[in-house]
């Protein structure tokens, strides 16, 4: 798993300002997921993976009640934003989604 400097640089490619406390909280919350090679990345080309991100992260973790189509569009938009990356970091994708919906505070302790 990358250190916080690497994580901040990775998020900084896509976000104009990085909330360090939120990034650290997100990394701590998902430390187990991020430590495993097969779960530390988001497979954007897999519809089931995108559904999992919508259901488990956006709806359950962030508590969003937006229409599924809107949430799906947000996941696709993040995937599109990160398309240059062969391996799309779950941490970066989750950060960008939380930022988009104004939910970074969920991860600040």
The tokens for 18 are: 């990085």
Q: According to the model, what pLDDT value does residue 109 have?
A: 81
Indicate the fold that domain 4-107 takes in CATH. Recoverin; domain 1 (1.10.238)
The tokens for 60 are: 């359950």
User: How much is the average pLDDT of 10-14?
Assistant: 95
b vs e for 22-36, b when ≥16 Cβ sit within 10 Å of the residue's Cβ?
bbbbbbebbeeebee
Tokens 């495993």 belong to residue: 36
Q: What is the pLDDT of residues 75-98, one digit of tens each?
A: 999 999 999 999 999 999 999 999
Q: Give Cβ neighbours of residue 105 (< 8 Å, ≥ 6 apart).
A: 22
Q: Domains of the chain: which residue ranges?
A: 4-107
């Amino acid at each position: 798993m990358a250190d916080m400097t690497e994580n901040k640089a990775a998020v900084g490619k896509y976000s104009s300002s990085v909330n360090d406390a939120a990034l650290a909280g997100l990394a701590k919350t998902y430390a187990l997921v991020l430590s495993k090679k097969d779960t530390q990345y988001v497979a954007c080309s897999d519809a089931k993976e995108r559904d999992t991100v919508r259901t488990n992260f956006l709806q359950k973790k962030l508590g969003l009640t937006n229409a599924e189509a809107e949430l799906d569009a947000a996941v696709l938009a993040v995937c599109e934003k990160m398309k240059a990356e062969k391996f799309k970091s779950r941490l970066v994708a989750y950060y960008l989604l939380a930022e988009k919906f104004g939910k970074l505070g969920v991860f600040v302790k």
